[in-house]
Structure 1
Amino acid sequence: MNTIINFMKRNYKILLVVTVLSVTLFAFKIKSGVDSNPDKDKLLLELLTFVIEKGHYDPATIDDEFSKGIYKDYVQALDPSKRFFLQSDIDEFSKFETELDDQLMNKDLTFFNLTYDRLMKRMDESKKIYKEILSTPFDYAVDESFNTDYDKAQYTKSVAELTDRWRKQIKLSTLSSLTDRLKVQEDKSKGLVDQKSADSLSTAEQNEKINKNGPEKIKDSDLGEGGKSKTFAELEKETRENAKKALDEYFGFMNDLERDDWFSVYVNSITARFDPHTNYFAPEEKSRFDVSMSGTLEGIGARLQKKNDFTEISELISGGPAWRGKQLEAGDQVMKVAQGNELAVDVVGMRLDDVVKKIKGPKGSEVRLTVKKVDGTIKIISIIRDIVEIEETYAKSSVVNKNGLKYGVIYLPKFYINFENKDGRDAGKDIALEVERLKKAGVSGIVLDVRDDGGGSLSTVVDIAGLFIEQGPIVQIKSAGRKKEVLYDRDKKIEWDGPLVIMVNSFSASASEILAAAIQDYKRGIIIGSKQTYGKGTVQNVIDLNQFVRNSEVGDLGALKTTTQKFYRINGGSTQLEGVSSDIVMPDRYAYLKMGERDIDNAMPWDKIESAEYSVWDKTANFNKAISNSKSRIEHSSQFKLIEENAKWIDSRSEDNTYSLNMKKFKIAQSAIEEAAKKYKPISKYKNSLQFSSLPYELVETTKDSILKEKRDRWHEALSKDVYVEEALNVLDDLQSKAGLKKDLPAKMEKEKLAKS
C-alpha cells in the first residue's frame, strides 16, 4: 500500500528530530582514507535504528521478541516456497533467533552474512536441480500429489527430498499447462472453438495457484504443420521446454540482484517490526517511490523489461519523447546506450536497473540507443529526454446519461503530488479541474471512485474534501507526546454542492480512507463499496539518510520511510485497523479473504481521541432514502447474490491446496472445479446498458493520440461492465431533489416516447 506522506511545515516533531540528528552528526562522521573506509551496511544499521528510535510515533522495544519477528520475516522473505534451504540450514540459522536484537545494536552482520552466503549456494544448486528434472519426460500415470500451502510445509531434510519437492512443483506446473494444451487441441479438432477463444479456456483463478506465471498461451503452432494435431509426447516436451524457459528467466532475474539488494531485504525485515509501513528505500527504490508519488520522471518515456540477457521495450508512455519520435517501438531490444556524443556502452547482459539508469537523464539531454528492431535490423535512435507524465497515475473522468440525466464518474488512482515542483500536477488541483469540467458538461451528480487507491499525499486529501464542503476540519493528526493537530479546509467556496457518492473497496487505504471518513462524518455524500476499507490510519515521513553523514565515501545510503503520526476522523475515531465502514455494503468476490491492516501481526492498534467541531451537511435530499433504496436493490439483485455466493466459494477454495499429479485424477478435479465455476461466469459477462464517454476536451486529444484513445475506450468498456459503478449511479438517481426530477421529466418522457415509436 502506498502511504500518507506528510511534508507539512507544521510537523514539529520531525523538524525536532532532524535538528537533534544534525547535532549528533559527529556520531556518523566518516573519515577519509582507504584504511579506515567504513562498512556501509554497519553504518546503515546504525543510522536506521537511531532515526527510527528518535522519530517513530511509537518505537517498538528492541528485545528478544523483536528479534524473533525479524528472524521469521527475513527467513520467509528469502525462501517463501521453501525450495532452497534445508532443515539443517534452518537449524543453523535458528541459533540466532533471539540474538538479532543484540546484533542490530552492535552492528553485527554475522547472521546476514551466513544467510546470504547460504542462499547463494543453495540457488546455484537449485539451477542444476531444475535443469536435470526437466531433461526427461514426466510420468503422469504415477499416483502422487503436491500441496501448495508453503506456510504449513516443513523444510526438507536432504537434497534428495528437496529435489523431489522441486520435481513435484514443476510437474504440477507442466501438468496444468499440458492438460490445457490437450483440451484446446481436442476441442479444435472437433471444431468446438476457434483460435481466438483458445487462450481463454483455462480457469485462471484455479490455475493461478498451480502456476504462478499463469497458463501458457496456446498458439497455432501447437497444432503442428498444416493444422495437424501434435502427439502427446510432442506437447509434453513443449511444456517442459516452456517451464525451463520460465525458470531460466526467473534465475536470470535473481542473478541480477546484488548483495545490496539482499541486504535491503534484511533491513526491511528489521524496519517492519516497528510497524508494517516503516520501510527502508535503497537509492533505486527511493527514485521509484518519488516517481510513483509525483507521476512524473525525466527520461525518454518507455517501460523496459528484461528478456534473458536483453533489455526490451515493453511499452511507450503516451506523450513521452520516445512516443513523439515514432522511431522506438514495443519489442525493440536495446543493445547499446550512449550519452550525447560519448561512446556507446554495451548493455547486453547488464542488470535492468543499471540499463534504466543509463537511459534516464535530465530534461534536454540527449541519449542515443542502438536497438535491434523487431524485424532484426539494427538502428541508432537519438532521443532528447524530457519530463514524462505517467498518465495512468492521474485522475480521469467520464460522463454517462441515465434516466434523462447526465452524471460524472471520476477515478482517482492515488493521491499524487510533486514535492519538488509546487507548480506540478497534484491530485487536489486535478480533481478540482475534473469537477469544474463536469459542471460545465451539466452533470447532476458525481461519483468519485477511490477503489484500489492506496493513498499518497495528506495535503491533497484536504484540498479534495474541501471541494465538497463549505469549510471545516477534514482530519486530525496526533504525534507522540504532542497535542493533536487539526487540518482544515478554510476556503468557503464549494466547488460541487450536488449529489455525491464515494466508491471504496478493501484496498482503499490511507488517504482514501481520510477522504471517505470526512465525507461520511459530514454526511456530505454516500460511501458505497466493501464492508470496510483497508484500515491504515498512520502517517509516514520520508527521511533522506545521506543528510546525516559527512565526508562519506560509501555512496548513496537511500532513505527511510517511518511512521511519525496517526490520523483520526473528525468524529475522533481512528481509521487504523477498522478502516471506514460503507454506508451501503456491496458484496465483492474477495470479501472473506484476509487482506487488510487488521490481518498483519504487528499493525498499530485502534484508538480514539476527542472529536473536532464540525457541522453536518443538511442540504442533500433523500440521503437516508437513497441508502435504503440501494440496500433493497442489492438484496434483490441476482448479480449481487451471485457475487456473494462466488465470494463464499472462493473462500472455501482457498483452503484446498492439494493437487493430484496423476493426469487422470487431475483432469477430473479440474473438470469439477470448472463445472462449479461455470455458475459464476455471468459475473464477468455482465454488461449494463450505460454508455460512457470522454469529456469534449479529451475527445479532441484522443483524435491525436491513438494510445490514449485505446486506453479510454478500454476504461469506458470496463465501466459499462461494472455493476458497482451502475449501483453508484442508481444512488445518484435517488439523491436527486424532486425539483430536479420534475425539471428533467419532460425530456425523459419525450426520450421514452421516441424509443417506443
Structure 2
Amino acid sequence: MNTIIDFMKRNYKIILAVVLLSATLFAFRNNSTQSVNSEKDKMLLELLTFVIEKGHYSPAAIDDTFSKGIYKDYIQALDPSKRFFLQSDIDEFSKFETQLDNQLLNKDLTFFNLTYNRLIKRMEEGKNLYKDILSTPFDYTIEETFNTDYEKEPYAKNIGELKEKWRKQLKLSTLSSLTDRLKIQENKEKGIVDKDAKSSSDVLKSAEFNDDLNYSKNDKSSDGKPKTYEELEKITRESSLKSLNEYFGFMKELTRDDWFSIYVNSITARFDPHTNYFPPEEKERFDVSISGKFEGIGARLQKKNDFTEITELISGGPAWRGKQLEAGDVIMKVAQGNGEPLDIVGMRLDDVVKKIKGPKGSEVRLTVKKVDGSIKTISIIRDIVEIEETYAKSSVVERNGVKYGVIYLPKFYIDFENADGRDAGKDIAAEVESLKKAGVNGIVLDVRDDGGGSLSTVVDIAGLFIEQGPIVQIKSADRKKEVLYDRDKKIEWNGPLVIMVNSFSASASEILAAAIQDYKRGIILGSKQTYGKGTVQNVIDLNKFVRSSSTGDLGALKTTTQKFYRINGGSTQLEGVSSDIVMPDKYAYLKMGERDGDSAMPWDKIDPAPYTTWKNNANFDKAIAESKKRIAQNPQFKLIEENAKWIDQRSKENVYSLKMDEFKKNQSAIEETNKKFKAITDYDYHLKFTSLPQENEAMKKDASLKEKRERWHESLSKDIYVEEALNVLDDLQDEPVIKKSVPPVAMKKQKLVKS
C-alpha cells in the first residue's frame, strides 16, 4: 500500500531541516567498547526517533500507551502461533510493557536482547519437539480438537503443554494431508479424476505446516500397487518433517539484524501503519517494486534446503535471452567475470542474490546442475531487467459491433533515478493512444488490487481524461495546503470511461478514482469502498545523516509526511472511495482495510478546490441505475454475495476435530458447499479479448509473453466484473447499443448458474 511521492520536490524544507539538525546529533565516531552491531542498533534507534519526530505528519506521543502498542505488536510478530514462548517468558517480558518508550529514548536494547536470545533458545527447543512428535504415527481415532485462533489461545505453562500444542498443530496438518492422499487414492481406484475438487488443505485454514501436496510420485508401492493406510500415514509425516526442516532452515538464515528490523518496525508502526524501516536489502526490493526494474540476470530464485534453485526466467532478461538456464536448474557456484568461483551451497538466499546481481555490462559465471543432472558453467552479461508484470497492459474486445478497451494498471510505477525511464503516466497515455487507433468506443481502467505508487503519475493519468484542473490536495506537516493540477488542456480520451476498483485499491488508486468521481468524468465500479489510505510517505536514506561508515549500511525510513484530500475537500483516509456502482465482493465482510488497524490516522476534511464537473455525461445517472438493476437481478452476483457471507462465517470457525471420521465429515460438508460456489469460477461470458498490434508482434518472438497474455485474456472473458463494466460502457454510449442474442453456449452456462 505504498504511495511514494517525489519528496525532493515537495518536502525539501522538512528534509533539509532534518539533515541540518542531524549533522550535530549524529556526526560522531564509534569509541564504544561494545560491539559494532550494538552501536549500529543504538544509532538506528536514535536516527529513527529523531527523523520521525521532526518529519512525520503527526508524530504520536512516546509514552506508556505507545510502549504498550510496541510490546503487543512485537511479541505477536515474534511468535504469532504461540508455539515458542512459554507463559513464564511472557511474564518476564511483560515487566517491560510500559518501559519501551523510555528504552527507545535512552537507546536501551535490554528488552530486545532478552526477547531475541530467548526466541533463539525456544526455537532450538522447538526443533527437538517436532522431530520427536513426527517420529511416531498419530492416532486419528481419539476425540480431540485444535483451535487455530492463536490470538485468543493462552501460552503454554511449561514444555509439556508446549509439546501438546505442537502435537495437535502437527496432527491437524498431517490429518489434512493424509485425508487428501486417501481420497486421491480412493478416486484413482474408482477411475475418478476430479481436477476441480477442493483439497482439505484448500478449505482448511492454515495450520502453518501443510506439506507440499504432490501425491503422485510417492503414493504407489514399488510394485505399482496402491499404498496401504500405514504407508500413506508414514509418507505424510515424512513430508511434514521435510517442510518443517525447510522452515527452520529458513529461520536459521535470519540474522540478528533481521530480528532487530522486526523490533524497529514494531516501533515505527505505532506512528501509523505506513511508517516503516527498510533494512538495506528490503530497501533495494522496494526500489525494484516501485520502478519495475533492476540490474542483473533476470531469474527468480528459491531456497531448497541448502541449494538455490531457479524457479523462473524473467521474460526479456539476459538469462532468458541466453537460453542456457531453465527453471529447475540448481546454482552451485558463482564467479564474477574471470574471478574464482565461490561455492554458494548453504549460503543465505539474500547473499546469493547479492552475488548474482550486479551492474549492467558486467559478467557473472554460474556453475549449475542442470535439470538432466549435468554440470555446466554459464556466462551471462548482466543487463537492465524489466519486470513485465509491473507495467500497464491493455486489451481490446468487440461485442454487438462495438469495440472497447481494457487497461490494467498493477501499480503507479516510476523510475526516480531516470527521468526518461518508464512511468505509469507515460505508459497509460501510450495505451490510450493505441486504443484510440484501434477504434474503441469506451475504456475500462482497472486498478483493482493496485496498492499505489507515485503521486506524480496519478496527476498525469487523471489529466488524460479532463481538460485541466485540480487533481488532488495535499497538506504537509506544517499544515500548509498545496493543490496539484493538470495544466495540460489536451484531453487524450473524451469518451465513456469506467474505473474498476476493489477493497485493495489503495492510495494512488484512490486519488485517481476520487478525482474521476468528483469531476463526474467516469463511473467508479467495484467494492463498496476502497482501502482507505489517504497518507503520503517519503523514503529517507538514513546513511546521509552519518559521517562515519564504520557501522555499515543503515537502510532507509519510509515515513508519513503528508495527507492528501479529494478536490471536494474530503479525505480518503479510512473511508476510501465509495463506488458509484457497488458490486458484490467475496471478501466484502472481512476486515482488511486501513480502518481496521489500531494505529491509522483519522479522517478529516478541508476546503474544496474550485473545479468544474464534466458536462458530456448525459447518460451518467441512467447508466448507474441500469447497472444496479442488472446486478440486483443477476443470479451470479447473488451467488457471489452468498459466498461472501459464507466466507465471513468460515473465518470465525477456528476449532477443528482431530478425529479422522469427524474431520472427513466436516470437510465433506465444506466441499459440498464449495461445489455450489464453483459456478463463480466457471462463469464465462464468451467474449474474445485480443492484444493490440504492437503486442501481437512482440508475442511472436516471446512465447512467455504470449502465454501470459493468453491467460490474462482468458481471465477477462471469465470476469463478471469486467463484463458489467462493459455493460456500463454500453449504457454510456450516445447511441443505444443494440444487444445481440446470447450465444447458445453462453445461454446454457447461464441456465446452469440459475439452477
Per the normalisation by structure 1, the TM-score is 0.96
1:34, distance to aligned residue in structure 2 (A):
8.3
Residue 144 of structure 2 corresponds to 144
1:394, distance to aligned residue in structure 2 (A):
0.3
SS in 2 for 1:94: helix
Distance 1:265 1:54, change over 3 A: same
Q: How does 1:426-437 map to 2 (within 5 A)?
A: 426-437=423-434
Distance 1:213 1:695, change over 3 A: farther
Residue 549 of structure 2 corresponds to 552
Residue 405 of structure 1 corresponds to 402
Residue 422 of structure 2 corresponds to 425
Equivalent AA in structure 1 for residue 115 of structure 2: T
SS in 1 for 2:49: helix
Asked if 2 retains the 8 angstrom alpha-carbon contact of 1:204 and 1:215, the reply is no
1:249, distance to aligned residue in structure 2 (A):
0.7
Residue 51 of structure 2 corresponds to 51
Q: Which shifted more, 61-70 or 688-697?
A: 688-697
Residue 87 of structure 1 corresponds to 87
Q: Within 1, Cα distance between the matches of 2:140 and 2:721?
A: 44
Equivalent AA in structure 2 for residue 658 of structure 1: V
Q: How well do the aligned residues superpose, as a CA RMSD in angstroms?
A: 1.7
Asked if 1 retains the 8 angstrom alpha-carbon contact of 2:85 and 2:155, the reply is yes
1:224, distance to aligned residue in structure 2 (A):
3.0
Distance 1:215 1:37, change over 3 A: closer
Asked if 2 retains the 8 angstrom alpha-carbon contact of 1:184 and 1:198, the reply is no
SS in 1 for 2:394: strand
1:20, distance to aligned residue in structure 2 (A):
4.0
Q: Within 1, Cα distance between the matches of 2:243 and 2:200?
A: 20
* 1:317 counterpart = 2:314: yes
SS in 2 for 1:222: coil
Asked if 2 retains the 8 angstrom alpha-carbon contact of 1:498 and 1:620, the reply is no
1:454-499 Cα offsets, whole Å, 9 max, x none, are 0000000000000000000000000123321000000000000000
Equivalent AA in structure 2 for residue 588 of structure 1: D
1:621, distance to aligned residue in structure 2 (A):
3.4
Residue 606 of structure 1 corresponds to 603
Asked if 1 retains the 8 angstrom alpha-carbon contact of 2:198 and 2:671, the reply is no
Residue 183 of structure 2 corresponds to 183
Instruction: Give % identity.
Output: 74
1:10, distance to aligned residue in structure 2 (A):
4.3
1:644-691 Cα offsets, whole Å, 9 max, x none, are 001001111111110000101111111111112221110111111111
Equivalent AA in structure 2 for residue 17 of structure 1: I
Distance 1:47 1:178, change over 3 A: same
1:22, distance to aligned residue in structure 2 (A):
2.2
Q: How does 1:301-450 map to 2 (within 5 A)?
A: 301-450=298-447
Asked if 1 retains the 8 angstrom alpha-carbon contact of 2:201 and 2:210, the reply is no
Equivalent AA in structure 2 for residue 654 of structure 1: S
SS in 1 for 2:358: coil
Asked if 1 retains the 8 angstrom alpha-carbon contact of 2:295 and 2:360, the reply is yes
1:7, distance to aligned residue in structure 2 (A):
1.5
Distance 1:23 1:649, change over 3 A: closer
Per the normalisation by structure 2, the TM-score is 0.96
Q: Within 1, Cα distance between the matches of 2:192 and 2:524?
A: 46
Give the counterpart of 2:707 among 706, 710, 721. 710
Asked if 2 retains the 8 angstrom alpha-carbon contact of 1:204 and 1:214, the reply is no
Q: How does 1:265-664 map to 2 (within 5 A)?
A: 265-664=262-661
Q: Within 2, Cα distance between the matches of 1:538 and 1:439?
A: 34
Residue 4 of structure 2 corresponds to 5
Asked if 2 retains the 8 angstrom alpha-carbon contact of 1:31 and 1:37, the reply is no
Asked if 2 retains the 8 angstrom alpha-carbon contact of 1:208 and 1:214, the reply is no
Residue 26 of structure 1 corresponds to 24
Asked if 1 retains the 8 angstrom alpha-carbon contact of 2:209 and 2:240, the reply is no
1:205, distance to aligned residue in structure 2 (A):
4.3
Residue 109 of structure 2 corresponds to 109
1:223, distance to aligned residue in structure 2 (A):
3.3
Q: Within 1, Cα distance between the matches of 2:192 and 2:344?
A: 47
Asked if 1 retains the 8 angstrom alpha-carbon contact of 2:584 and 2:637, the reply is yes
Asked if 2 retains the 8 angstrom alpha-carbon contact of 1:475 and 1:488, the reply is yes
Asked if 2 retains the 8 angstrom alpha-carbon contact of 1:208 and 1:215, the reply is no
Distance 1:266 1:9, change over 3 A: closer
Paired residues, what number?
742
Equivalent AA in structure 2 for residue 338 of structure 1: A
1:405, distance to aligned residue in structure 2 (A):
0.5
Residue 158 of structure 1 corresponds to 158
1:271-329 Cα offsets, whole Å, 9 max, x none, are 00000000000000000000000000000000010000001101000000000000011
Q: Within 2, Cα distance between the matches of 1:457 and 1:484?
A: 19
Give the counterpart of 1:242 among 239, 244, 267. 239
Asked if 2 retains the 8 angstrom alpha-carbon contact of 1:198 and 1:218, the reply is no
5+ residue gaps, structure 2: 747-755
Q: How does 1:165-204 map to 2 (within 5 A)?
A: 165-193=165-193, 197=194, 200-202=197-199
Q: Which shifted more, 3-12 or 462-471?
A: 3-12
Residue 65 of structure 1 corresponds to 65
Asked if 1 retains the 8 angstrom alpha-carbon contact of 2:467 and 2:490, the reply is yes
Q: Within 1, Cα distance between the matches of 2:31 and 2:587?
A: 58
Q: How does 1:717-728 map to 2 (within 5 A)?
A: 717-728=714-725
Equivalent AA in structure 1 for residue 529 of structure 2: Q
Asked if 2 retains the 8 angstrom alpha-carbon contact of 1:176 and 1:210, the reply is no
Asked if 1 retains the 8 angstrom alpha-carbon contact of 2:176 and 2:201, the reply is no
Distance 1:578 1:177, change over 3 A: same
5+ residue gaps, structure 1: none
SS in 2 for 1:675: helix
1:220, distance to aligned residue in structure 2 (A):
5.0
1:604, distance to aligned residue in structure 2 (A):
0.2
Q: Within 2, Cα distance between the matches of 1:222 and 1:719?
A: 37
1:214, distance to aligned residue in structure 2 (A):
7.0
Equivalent AA in structure 2 for residue 41 of structure 1: D
